[in-house]
Structure 1
Amino acid sequence: MSSPIPFEQARGIAASAEALPAVRRSLEEGIGCVLSEPVTAQLDIPHAATSAMDGWAVTAAEEPQWALRSDRADRPGIVLQPLAAGEAVAVVTGTPIPKGAHSVLRSEHGYIDHSGSQGTRLHATPGTPDLEPHRNIRPTAAEAHTGQLLCEPGRILTATRAATAAVAGYDNLAVIPPPRVRLILTGGEVITSGHPAPGQVRDVFGLALPTMLGAMGADLVGSDRIDDDAAALVDLMEKNPPDVIITTGGTAGSPADVLRPALTRLRARILVDSVAMRPGHPALLARHNGTYILGLPGNPLAGFAALAALGEPLIRALRGITPAATSHALRAGSALQGPRTGVRLVPVQVTQETVQPLPHTSSHMMRGLAEADALAIVPAGGLTTDQHVECLPVPGSPGPIGGRAHISIR
């Protein structure tokens, strides 16, 4: 293992990955992907003027009364014939406005008279504002004109943006697909249920990583569990290689650590050999035949810290999100102890843009991370109260840093 790479340099290497090639997907399948083409209105939105109210489409008239036609639109899809002078016709919300209409008189602002000699007549309630030109009519292109830009490339296709694209006339879009990720969980001492005996530990990565990776926008395509066996690890890495392989454990240099020997057999290119960070310094990033290999240390906090430091920017880069490496500047609410060299990632809670360190934050522990809103990046020498501190989101966090909901159960 060579000298650790500085923290920001290591993150920059992970963030420099090229985005995956774009593919065409249906709007539904593209939700959550990053757009690689602009979304423009393929037609005017709305493409036809429609009624904004239930009532009657009326023509301009000196006296507020009209001959009421016998045909009517009792659902939005009915297209009515043009109105002649002095006519009105019943419409519902969403009905295309017939040619010749002046406005829409709301149903509560009019009444029908069947008693006159001139046939059925519609009368407007005195004082109604609905006789103003275009009143209660949703005009064509009120939202967008044909060709108008609705969403730029590089933005995530959210459900609401997909719905907007549908309204704009799209059935599919060019998007950058989520990176396909496979997990390889190593360690014969790791058990998945029950109480561990001496020499055993409960699995945390197989439980938490799928949800964390999904929240990052990755597509988990498989998960394998093996003993500390370099040959078995090589075989798995060469089998149906995805975009990213994430391994857990075995990243250091002891005889029990198998990742580095496996990468040597594969002749993989080491991009990050280790990182000047605590916990998580044995984390590594390599590449083999187009597949990125991210090695997370086996200690829980160390592994999840490495995922935040290297995995998050790698996945964002592959998704085409810029900037790929991000952090959030907050303020230290109390002194934060730093390492002798490099940086220390400290689980913290965030209150009103101020961070407080949590207990139980050794590399093998989970309690501190479980209660954390963020991971503070504390430089060598530490930080004093009120100094600015850059923070990373906890992997898999449901919202932005500081946006955590605290729920009281009674």
Structure 2
Amino acid sequence: MLSLRQARTTAAAAAALPVETLTLEAAIGRTLARDVAAAFEIPHASTSAMDGWAVRGPGPWRIVPTSPEHPGEPLPALGPGEAVAVLTGSVIPGDVDSVLRTEHAHSAADLPADSPTADDRSGQGLLSAQPDTPDTQPGRNIRPAGVEAQLGDRLLSAGSIITPVRAALLAVAGTDEVDVVRRAGVALVLTGSEVITSGRPDPGQVRDVFGVALPDMLREAGAEVIAQERIHDDAQQMDEALAAASSASRPADLIIITGGTAHSRADHLRPALHRAGAATLVDSVEMRPGHPVVLARLPRGTYVLGLPGNPLAGFAALAAVGHPLLAALHGEAQAEAAEMSAAIAGEDFTGPRSGERLVPARQTFSGILAAGHDRAHMMRGIAEADVFAVVPAGGVGAGERVDVLPVPGGGAVRGVNARRRTP
């Protein structure tokens, strides 16, 4: 049996999947396979930060009669003591000293006839700055070329998730395509002779929860569900399901089995893995719920993740072991720490006698609060929870630091893993 940290470290040791090249739009939600550097300076030209007047030398300035229709329109070169109207984003010639905001300037036409700056008769008109404006300082309201990035600067590192704003950064840098890690293809095998998919269960029956929730949870974690099968608690069906998923025309990178992970006569996963020649990587974790989670690798390289059949236990095991495994398969940096963060306990959390306890909890301004209904078979607590509070032996007191994992498909995941795009 492994500790939670050991299990996550083991799962995070999986090698990343192959690389493919995608457009920026298609790559959102994927993991970068290689660093991306700036192909040119950002911005690639000096531009105006304001609508107003580009000026050269001390004022007042003679107005050059031109009126740009759009920021990309080239501006004329300025002589000493000249000004030209500019728009935000206009390319600034190298001889310009600063940009005077529209609201900080006035032209001769705006002044009384006896004003000392209103006697220009050249036909060009004069422009003056309001007293005490800082806009006449050299470089004022000009965005210099390369102020954000120089040629060759690393913009994003391999292992970074391409979020929408990161895709926008790469677009600014002129990137059209990126190399990303392929999505993990997941085959779901849902077990349980007592499980029904619709209607009211009779005594001895239960409704399916994993078939409803897992596909979307896995998509949010960046994976692609490529097959889904339901089997009874039967040894032969388990053998056949493992063989089919790992040898299909598109073999699964990961097979997720729900249920069958314990040691009763109705639990067939461990014997089936042994018969298939699998290497067991994680055989139970010292945590509650989710203790009987199993992680193995088949001879052909396909991973098998066995989730306990109780709903809360299964989802806790997915967060604890499944997420770092998927992060590693997707090439994410620091896969061992995938999704784990720290928070402040808003109340006392009782710890287990040993190992760790995963408690469905809500994030509030007062700190992390238990959501209740936290037995392995229950759903109400996790349905209201954002995170699992990872409570060590000895517990955590109010105001103390506590590690948290996002609940798969919960509110916290919507904020973090919604970076993923469904296939």
Alignment TM class, shorter chain as reference: 0.7 to 0.9
What's the counterpart of residue 124 of structure 1?
128
- 1:301 to partner: Cα distance: 1.5
Q: Does structure 1 conserve the Cα–Cα contact (< 8 Å) formed by 2:294 and 2:306?
A: yes
User: What residue identity is the alignment partner of 1:66?
Assistant: R
Q: Secondary structure at the match of 2:411?
A: coil
Equivalent residue for 1:200? 205
Specify which of 184, 189, 210 is matched with residue 184 of structure 1. 189
Q: 1:287 aligns to what? A: 297
Aligned 8 A contact 1:73 1:90 in 2: yes
Q: CA 1:156–1:324 in structure 2 vs 1: closer, same or farther (change >3 Å)?
A: same
* TM superposition shift of 1:6: 4.2
In 1, the alpha carbon distance for the partners of 2:343 and 2:49 equals 47
Residue number among 304, 307, 312 corresponding to 2:315 in the alignment? 304
After TM superposition, the structure 1 = structure 2 runs for residues 119-268 of structure 1, keeping only pairs within 5 Å, are 119-127=123-131, 128-228=133-233, 229-233=237-241, 234-239=243-248, 240-268=250-278
Which residues in structure 2 correspond to 1:4-403 (within 5 Å)? 4-60=1-57, 64-69=60-65, 71-108=66-103, 109-111=105-107, 113=109, 117-127=121-131, 128-228=133-233, 229-233=237-241, 234-239=243-248, 240-288=250-298, 289-319=300-330, 320-325=332-337, 326=340, 328=342, 333-334=347-348, 336=350, 338-339=352-353, 342-349=355-362, 357=370, 359-378=372-391, 382-383=394-395, 385=397, 390-399=403-412
SS in 2 for 1:155: coil
1:126 to partner: Cα distance: 4.6
Measured after TM superposition, the shift of residue 195 of structure 1 is 1.5
Counterpart AA for 1:136: N
> CA 1:278–1:106 in structure 2 vs 1: closer, same or farther (change >3 Å)?
closer
TM-score by length of 2: 0.80
- Partner amino acid for 2:273? L
In 1, Cα distance between equivalents of 2:301 and 2:181: 17
Change in Cα spacing, 1:290 to 1:67, as seen in structure 2 (3 Å) is same
2:419 paired residue number = none
Distance 1:76 1:253, change over 3 A: same
Q: Is the contact between residue 83 and residue 127 of structure 2 (CA under 8 Å) also seen in structure 1?
A: no
Q: Structure 1: which 5+ runs fail to align? A: 404-410
CA contact (8 A) 1:331 1:389 kept: yes
Seen in structure 2, the aligned counterparts of structure 1 residues 115 and 220 have a Cα distance that, compared at 3 Å, is: farther
Query: Secondary structure of 2:64's partner?
Result: strand
Whole-Å Cα distance in 2 between the matches of residues 67 and 359 of structure 1?
A: 72
Q: Kindly state the Cα deviation for residue 261 of structure 1 after the two structures are TM-superposed.
A: 4.3
Assess if the C-alpha contact under 8 Å between 1:244 and 1:294 holds in 2. yes
Q: CA deviation at 1:238?
A: 2.7
How far the C-alpha of 1:303 sits from its partner, in A, is 1.0
Please give the TM-score of this superposition, normalised by the length of structure 1: 0.83
**One-letter code of the match for 1:215?**
E
Runs of 4 or more consecutive aligned structure 1 residues displaced over 6 Å after TM superposition: none
- Distance in 2 separating the partners of 1:363 and 1:214: 24
Cα distance in 1, alignment partners of residues 304 and 238 from structure 2: 15
Pairwise CA distance, 1:293 = 0.8
Flag the 1:89–1:7 CA change in 2: closer, same or farther, 3 A. Answer: closer
Q: What is the Cα-based RMSD across aligned positions, in Å? A: 3.3
Instruction: After TM superposition, give the deviation of residue 372 of structure 1 in Å.
Output: 3.4
Identity rate of aligned residues, in percent?
A: 49
Structure 1 residues 338-357: Cα deviation after superposition (integer angstroms, max 9, x where no partner): 25x65443334556786555
CA deviation after TM superposition for structure 1 residue 292, in Å: 0.9
Number of residue pairs matched? 396
Structure 2: state its 5+ residue gaps. 110-117, 417-423
* SS of residue paired to 1:32: coil
In the aligned structure 2, how far is the partner of 1:99 from the partner of 1:277?
A: 65
Q: 1:8 to 1:107 in 2, by over 3 A?
A: closer
Tell me if structure 2 keeps the 8 A contact 1:74–1:91. Answer: no
Once residues 102 and 90 of structure 1 are traced to their aligned partners in structure 2, the CA distance between those partners, rounded to angstroms, is 14
- CA positional deviation for 1:336: 1.5
